[in-house]
Structure 1
Amino acid sequence: MGFDLSSIQGTVQKYAEVIAQVSGVDVEVVDKKLYRVAGTGLYAGDINQDMSSEGYVYKHLLNTGETMIIYNPGEDSLCSNCPNSSNCQETIEISMPIKVHEEIIGIIGLVGSSKEQRDLILQNEKLYLEFVNQIADFIAAKALEQKEKESNLSIIATLDSVIDYMEQGVLIMGEGNIITKSNENAKKQLGVSTVEGKTVEIIYTGDELNNTSEYKMIIDNKEVFIMGEVYPLGLRNNQYTSILIFKNIKTIHSDLYEMTATHKTIDAKNIIGSSEATKRLKSNIEKVACSNSTVLITGESGTGKEMVATAIWRESDRRTQKFVAVNCAAIPESLLESELFGYVKGAFSGADPKGRIGKFELANQGIIFLDEIGDMPIYLQAKLLRILQERTITRIGSNQVIPIDVRVIAATNKDLKVMIETKKFREDLYYRLNVIPLTIKPLRERREDIEELTNFFIKRYNRLLNKSYNYIKKSTMELLKNHMWRGNVRELENTVEFMINMMESDGVLNDKTLPVDFFEDLSTEVVTSNNANIITPLKELELREIQKALNIFGDTTEGKRKAAMSLGISLTTFYRRLEEVLKK
Structure 2
Amino acid sequence: MTSKDYIALMQKILHYIEDGVHVIDKDGNTIIYNRAMEELEGMKKEDVLNRPLLDVFKSLDNETSTLLKVLKSGTPIKNKKQVYLNINGKEITTINTTVPLSLNGEKFGALEIAKDITKIKKLSDIILDLQNEISNGQTTKQLKIKKYTFDNILGESKAFKDALSIAKKAAKNSAPVLIYGETGTGKELFAQSIHYASNRANNPFIAQNCAAIPETLLEGILFGTSKGAFTGAIDRAGIFEQANGGTILLDEINSMPIQLQAKLLRVLQEGYIRRIGGSKDIPIDVRVIATTNENPIEAVEKDKIRKDLYYRLNVISINIPALRDRKEDIIPLSSHFIKKYNNILKKDIWIISEKSKEILLEHSWPGNVRELENTIYAAVSMTDDDHVLNHQSLNILNLNKRINKEKIDIDINNNLDETMKTIEVKFIKKALFENNNNITKAANDLGIKRQTLQHKMKKYGIR
For Structure 1 versus Structure 2, the TM-score category normalised by the shorter chain is 0.5 to 0.7
- 1:347, distance to aligned residue in structure 2 (A): 2.4
Equivalent of 1:384 in 264, 271, 276: 264
- 1:491, distance to aligned residue in structure 2 (A): 0.5
Please name the residue that 2:217 is paired with: 335
**Distance in 2 between the 1:252 and 1:512 partners?**
45
Secondary structure at the counterpart of residue 357 of structure 1: coil
- 1:258, distance to aligned residue in structure 2 (A): 7.5
Equivalent of 1:454 in 321, 326, 334: 334
Please name the residue that 2:448 is paired with: none
**Distance in 1 between the 2:160 and 2:301 partners?**
31
- 1:470, distance to aligned residue in structure 2 (A): 4.4
Please name the residue that 1:254 is paired with: 136
Please name the residue that 2:229 is paired with: 347
In structure 2, give the amino acid aligned to 1:296: L
C-alpha spacing 1:419/1:273, structure 2 compared with 1 (3 Å): closer
- 1:265, distance to aligned residue in structure 2 (A): 2.4
**Distance in 2 between the 1:293 and 1:451 partners?**
35
Structure 1 unmatched ranges of 5 or more:
1-249, 528-584
Secondary structure at the counterpart of residue 325 of structure 1: strand
TM-score calculated relative to the size of structure 1: 0.45
- 1:262, distance to aligned residue in structure 2 (A): 5.9
Secondary structure at the counterpart of residue 290 of structure 2: strand
**Distance in 1 between the 2:277 and 2:141 partners?**
25
Is 1:518 matched up with 2:386? Answer: no
C-alpha spacing 1:258/1:429, structure 2 compared with 1 (3 Å): farther
State how 1:142-153 maps to structure 2 within 5 Å. none
Equivalent of 1:284 in 125, 148, 166: 166
- Is the 1:274–1:448 contact (alpha carbons within 8 Å) kept by the matching residues of 2? yes
Is 1:295 matched up with 2:177? Answer: yes
Is 1:490 matched up with 2:370? Answer: yes
**Distance in 2 between the 1:399 and 1:468 partners?**
62
Is 1:424 matched up with 2:307? Answer: no
Note the alpha carbon deviations across 1:547-580, whole angstroms, 9 max, x for none: xxxxxxxxxxxxxxxxxxxxxxxxxxxxxxxxxx
State how 1:334-413 maps to structure 2 within 5 Å. 334-351=216-233, 353=234, 355-413=235-293
- 1:253, distance to aligned residue in structure 2 (A): 3.8
State how 1:530-569 maps to structure 2 within 5 Å. none
State how 1:87-98 maps to structure 2 within 5 Å. none
TM-score calculated relative to the size of structure 2: 0.56
Note the alpha carbon deviations across 1:236-292, whole angstroms, 9 max, x for none: xxxxxxxxxxxxxx9984236789986532322441112212222222122121212
C-alpha spacing 1:251/1:524, structure 2 compared with 1 (3 Å): closer
- Is the 2:204–2:243 contact (alpha carbons within 8 Å) kept by the matching residues of 1? yes
Please name the residue that 1:480 is paired with: 360
C-alpha spacing 1:307/1:263, structure 2 compared with 1 (3 Å): farther
Equivalent of 1:309 in 178, 185, 191: 191
**Distance in 2 between the 1:388 and 1:258 partners?**
33
Identity across the alignment (%): 48
Note the alpha carbon deviations across 1:196-221, whole angstroms, 9 max, x for none: xxxxxxxxxxxxxxxxxxxxxxxxxx
**Distance in 2 between the 1:309 and 1:509 partners?**
32
**Distance in 2 between the 1:435 and 1:261 partners?**
34
In structure 2, give the amino acid aligned to 1:522: K
State how 1:121-200 maps to structure 2 within 5 Å. none
Q: Whose Rg is larger?
A: 1
**Distance in 1 between the 2:240 and 2:140 partners?**
16
**Distance in 2 between the 1:508 and 1:344 partners?**
60
- Is the 1:378–1:425 contact (alpha carbons within 8 Å) kept by the matching residues of 2? yes
C-alpha spacing 1:502/1:253, structure 2 compared with 1 (3 Å): closer
C-alpha spacing 1:255/1:301, structure 2 compared with 1 (3 Å): same
Note the alpha carbon deviations across 1:473-514, whole angstroms, 9 max, x for none: 122123212321111001101100110111012242111101
Secondary structure at the counterpart of residue 398 of structure 2: helix
- Is the 2:133–2:139 contact (alpha carbons within 8 Å) kept by the matching residues of 1? no
C-alpha spacing 1:252/1:266, structure 2 compared with 1 (3 Å): closer
Secondary structure at the counterpart of residue 356 of structure 1: coil
Please name the residue that 1:42 is paired with: none
C-alpha spacing 1:458/1:374, structure 2 compared with 1 (3 Å): same
**Distance in 2 between the 1:526 and 1:473 partners?**
26
**Distance in 2 between the 1:297 and 1:499 partners?**
31
Secondary structure at the counterpart of residue 255 of structure 1: coil
- 1:471, distance to aligned residue in structure 2 (A): 2.4
In structure 2, give the amino acid aligned to 1:454: S
**Distance in 2 between the 1:432 and 1:309 partners?**
17
Is 1:324 matched up with 2:206? Answer: yes
**Distance in 2 between the 1:425 and 1:260 partners?**
39
C-alpha spacing 1:259/1:323, structure 2 compared with 1 (3 Å): farther
- Is the 2:255–2:304 contact (alpha carbons within 8 Å) kept by the matching residues of 1? no
- 1:525, distance to aligned residue in structure 2 (A): 5.5
**Distance in 2 between the 1:506 and 1:461 partners?**
14
Please name the residue that 1:469 is paired with: 349
- 1:522, distance to aligned residue in structure 2 (A): 3.5
C-alpha spacing 1:517/1:350, structure 2 compared with 1 (3 Å): farther
**Distance in 1 between the 2:279 and 2:300 partners?**
32
**Distance in 2 between the 1:258 and 1:441 partners?**
38
- Is the 1:470–1:506 contact (alpha carbons within 8 Å) kept by the matching residues of 2? no
The number of residues matched between the two structures is 276
- Is the 1:261–1:324 contact (alpha carbons within 8 Å) kept by the matching residues of 2? no
**Distance in 2 between the 1:252 and 1:276 partners?**
37
State how 1:54-133 maps to structure 2 within 5 Å. none
- Is the 2:338–2:350 contact (alpha carbons within 8 Å) kept by the matching residues of 1? no
- Is the 2:253–2:305 contact (alpha carbons within 8 Å) kept by the matching residues of 1? no
Equivalent of 2:313 in 422, 433, 441: 433
C-alpha spacing 1:455/1:373, structure 2 compared with 1 (3 Å): same
